Amino acid sequence: MLEVCDLKKKFVKYNEKHQKEEFYANNGISFKAKEGEIIGILGPNGAGKTTLLRMIAGILEPTSGTISFGKLDYHHNEIEIKKSIAYLSGNTKLYNTLSPYELLKMCGNIYGVPKDKLESRIKEISKKLNMDSFLYNRIENLSTGQTQRVNIARCLVHDPKYYILDEATSGLDIISSQIILDFIKEEKKHGKIILYSTHYMEEAENICDYVIMINKGVLIKEGTPTAIKKDTKTTNLRDAFFCLIGGVSYE
Amino acid sequence: MNNLMNILKKELREMFRDKKSLAMMLIIPILIPLLVMGMSALFESEINKPITDYNKIGFDYELSEEEKKLADNFEINVVTSDIDTLKDKYKNGEINLYVTKDNTTYTIHGEDNETTSYASALMDSYFASYKEYLQTNYLEENEINPNEVTNIITVKEDLEEVENYYGNYIVNYGFLFIIMAITISATYPATDATAGEKERGTLETLLTFPIKSKDIIIGKFLSVSLSSIITGLLSLVLMLISLVIANNSFEIYKDTNLMLSTSSLIFTIVVIIAYSLLISGLCIAIASKSKTFKEAQSALTPLTFISFFPGMIAFMAGVSSSPILSLIPFLNYTLLFQDIVTGTIDIVNILLMSISTIVVITLVLVVIIKQYKSEKVLF
């Protein structure tokens, strides 16, 4: 079980008079995620999705609120929690001068995969993601689709319990996106908890069990896609979102 | 410890596979043999300038038989002509100097340049001999024993040559180049491992790994240090090889041993390692504050100058090492190198330099680790 409770993140920005101004990228967000569940985090660009996922992944520290991974929390078990997480964002880049094999070996070692199991784990993942033909080539020489498969393999190597995927399909072509979506569905079957942020509402509607909608750092609605559509009397999540924010605003 | 090794391995792999990092590691060391041989050749050409380059002397008077003999002894190529022709010949470079005579006054004419100074020194010797010849003749004509007058006092020189000026100069410059090589070698990988990682978007991935900030920073620090130490030691080896060749090839180093003694060599390695560690730490600290590779390179430019200017100024101004100066980063390394060259190394100064280096590195690492613990490192 992953539980996020009243999470807030305050940042400082400068206004037109070059004065410091505080603002909340996330303001009191709470939700729970159970094993085998895909939680969709939806919202437009700048809604606060990345900040939320970065806090859950332990990259950013919350201003207030708590994040619990079962009985563990970041204050006392940071390394242990990070060992059970795989983080993949649309901006995630890999070490170009390494080969996929070297990268997977490095990640396996860092995540504490036993040495005797690591080789067979890499072979298994390579076969599963059809990476054998480029496993020993440098990442800088791979295509976008191949690089994305390496990125997924990196997430799989330590068999994590939690997947945090931030706009993972953003900017990818239809085939590369499908690789990610297939991977998410596969991991759900294995009982993993998957947090999946996107601004593609249709994509979320297809794969998410539960959705939380964020706008301007505030949770505006949560529930199953069906329940949200029913509550808002709409036929899809896109319309539901516009209904909840009161139409398009150009602020 | 295990994760520190993982980060170190990753950084070393990236560094040694990056052509630019390798180029930065090798470019200055390769220049060191050129510097040693080139400067040695220059010094030697200055000292052993062939006499034919400056022995064409014009005279506006006819030389006596005695003067001609003397000119022959000094290998002076005599050109006799009137003053206007001599001026033209001097302007055209046909003669190196010209001499005019007015009764008993001889005037040497020419412009103040390098060749003229050699020719002028030649004429000074010539006129000193000619003057001695005339004085001896005069004394003999007046029935005075010339030896009683000319040898009225005797001056002897008992100057022990403890150091070879050119030898010291070349070794000191070699050490300055080693410092420069280490600095340049540290700059690129430090930038790549910090600001470069941020710019490429791999820092976010790194921060999600179950690794303590301390292990990330120490791993990066050790990899950059290793690159600098390799460059420093490679520069030293190339410098020593060049010195052996120069020692055997150039007259200016005759009767001098340019090679470092075993103890000097050990101290040199200690200074190289200490300097590599310090500059690597500083480079990482500065570069990790930058958002982009370019920004980090600009931020590191002043450090490149700071690293060798104090030493260069101290070398030019003849500043000597002392316990207090051994505590001042940058200056201490150059002063210790100077002591190594002159063979006056003091173990206390080496210890103080080591303590100063350890203190600075510890402070720098604490600051960077704190920075990596904070989310600010991402922005």
**What are the chain B neighbours of A89 within 8 Å (beta carbons)?**
204
Do B205 and A92 count as a contact with CB atoms less than 8 A apart?
yes
Is B87 contained in some domain? yes
The separation between CA B14 and the C-alpha centre of its own chain, rounded to angstroms, equals 33
Is residue B169 domain-shared with residue B118, that is, in the same domain?
A: no
Q: Say whether B156 sits in a helix, a strand or coil.
A: coil
For residue B160, the model assigns a pLDDT of 62
| Digit-coded pLDDT (tens) for B175-196 | 989 999 999 999 999 999 999 9
Distance set, CA B154 to CA B130, B140, B147, B160, B286 (Å): 20, 21, 11, 19, 65
Residue type, A250: Y
Of B14, B18, B210, the CB nearest to A110: B210
**What are the chain B neighbours of A83 within 8 Å (beta carbons)?**
210
The domain boundary residue, chosen from B87, B120, B150: B150
Is residue B99 domain-shared with residue B71, that is, in the same domain?
A: yes
Identify which of A24, A25, A42, A32 has the alpha carbon closest to the alpha carbon of residue A4: A32
What chain A residue is nearest to B379 in terms of C-alpha separation?
A: A60
Is residue B200 domain-shared with residue B324, that is, in the same domain?
A: yes
What CA–CA distance (Å, rounded) separates B228 from B215?
20
Is residue B119 domain-shared with residue B185, that is, in the same domain?
A: no
Query: Sorting pLDDT into bands at 50, 70 and 90, what band is B318?
Result: confident
| B270-289 residues touching A, CB cutoff 8 A | none
Say if CB A100 and CB A150 are below 8 A apart. yes
Provide the number of CB pairs (under 8 Å) joining chain A to chain B.
64
The domain boundary residue, chosen from B150, B171, B195: B150
For residue A4, the model assigns a pLDDT of 94
| Digit-coded pLDDT (tens) for B216-252 | 999 999 999 999 999 999 999 999 999 999 988 888 8
Structure tokens at B343: 């063979």
The domain boundary residue, chosen from B120, B150, B180: B150
Q: How many domains does chain B have?
A: 2
Structure tokens at B183: 């600095």
**Residue ranges of chain A whose CB lies within 8 Å of a chain B CB:** 54, 57-61, 78-80, 82-83, 85, 87, 89, 91-98, 102, 106-107, 109-112, 138
| Digit-coded pLDDT (tens) for B94-132 | 999 999 999 889 999 988 777 888 888 899 999 999 999
Q: Provide the domain limits for residue B139.
A: 51-150
Of B3, B14, B209, the CB nearest to A95: B14
Is residue B69 domain-shared with residue B198, that is, in the same domain?
A: no
First to last CA, chain A: 37
Across the range B152-171, mean pLDDT stands at 76
What CA–CA distance (Å, rounded) separates B275 from B354?
9
For residue A248, the model assigns a pLDDT of 59
Q: For an interface test with A, which of B3, B5, B10, B19 has the most A Cβ atoms less than 10 Å from its Cβ?
A: B10
Is B157 contained in some domain? no
| B9-38 residues touching A, CB cutoff 8 A | 9-10, 13-14, 17-18
**What are the chain A neighbours of B3 within 8 Å (beta carbons)?**
110
When comparing pLDDT for A176 and B10, which is higher?
Answer: B10
Helix (H) or strand (E) holding A74: helix A74-83
Across the range A204-228, mean pLDDT stands at 92
Average pLDDT, chain B: 88
For residue A175, the model assigns a pLDDT of 80
Q: Say whether B360 sits in a helix, a strand or coil.
A: helix
Asked if B200 has any chain A CB less than 8 Å from its own CB, the reply is yes
**What are the chain A neighbours of B375 within 8 Å (beta carbons)?**
59-61
Asked if B207 has any chain A CB less than 8 Å from its own CB, the reply is yes
Of A78, A82, A97, the CB nearest to B14: A97
Is residue B141 domain-shared with residue B288, that is, in the same domain?
A: no
Say if CB B1 and CB B140 are below 8 A apart. no
Q: Would you give the DSSP letter of residue B9? A: H
Across the range A88-116, mean pLDDT stands at 90
For residue B275, the model assigns a pLDDT of 95
* CATH number of the domain enclosing B87: 3.40.190
Across the range B352-366, mean pLDDT stands at 94
B268 has a pLDDT exceeding 80: yes
For residue A158, the model assigns a pLDDT of 93
Residue-by-residue DSSP string for A153-193: HHHHTT--SEEEEESTTTT--HHHHHHHHHHHHHHHHTT-E
Q: Strands A218-223 and A64-69: what pairing?
A: unpaired
Do A98 and B14 count as a contact with CB atoms less than 8 A apart?
yes
Do A87 and B205 count as a contact with CB atoms less than 8 A apart?
yes
**What are the chain A neighbours of B207 within 8 Å (beta carbons)?**
58-59
**What are the chain A neighbours of B6 within 8 Å (beta carbons)?**
106, 109-110
For residue A3, the model assigns a pLDDT of 94
Average pLDDT, chain A: 89
Do B6 and A82 count as a contact with CB atoms less than 8 A apart?
no
**What are the chain B neighbours of A61 within 8 Å (beta carbons)?**
375
For residue B38, the model assigns a pLDDT of 92
Do A93 and B201 count as a contact with CB atoms less than 8 A apart?
yes
A249 has a pLDDT exceeding 60: no
Is residue B122 domain-shared with residue B247, that is, in the same domain?
A: no
B254 has a pLDDT exceeding 60: yes
Is residue B187 domain-shared with residue B299, that is, in the same domain?
A: yes
For residue B75, the model assigns a pLDDT of 92
Helix then strand count (H, E) for chain A reads: 9, 10
Is B156 contained in some domain? no
Query: Sorting pLDDT into bands at 50, 70 and 90, what band is B163?
Result: low
Is residue B281 domain-shared with residue B191, that is, in the same domain?
A: yes
Is residue B19 domain-shared with residue B167, that is, in the same domain?
A: yes
User: A1-84+162-223 has which CATH code?
Assistant: 3.40.50.300
Do B208 and A57 count as a contact with CB atoms less than 8 A apart?
yes
| Digit-coded pLDDT (tens) for A145-199 | 888 889 889 998 999 999 999 888 877 778 878 888 888 898 999 999 999 998 8
Q: For an interface test with A, which of B197, B205, B214 has the most A Cβ atoms less than 10 Å from its Cβ?
A: B205
Is residue B132 domain-shared with residue B72, that is, in the same domain?
A: yes
Is residue B225 domain-shared with residue B373, that is, in the same domain?
A: yes
What chain A residue is nearest to B17 in terms of C-alpha separation?
A: A97
Largest CA distance in chain A: 60
Query: Sorting pLDDT into bands at 50, 70 and 90, what band is B375?
Result: confident
Q: Say whether B377 sits in a helix, a strand or coil.
A: helix
Q: Which residue has the tokens 């990790």?
A: B288
Domain boundaries, chain A: 1-84+162-223, 95-160
B162 has a pLDDT exceeding 80: no
What CA–CA distance (Å, rounded) separates B240 from A168?
56
**What are the chain A neighbours of B205 within 8 Å (beta carbons)?**
87, 92-94
B144 has a pLDDT exceeding 90: no
B159 has a pLDDT exceeding 70: no
To the nearest whole angstrom, how far is the Cα of A68 from the nearest Cα of chain B? 16
B41 has a pLDDT exceeding 60: yes
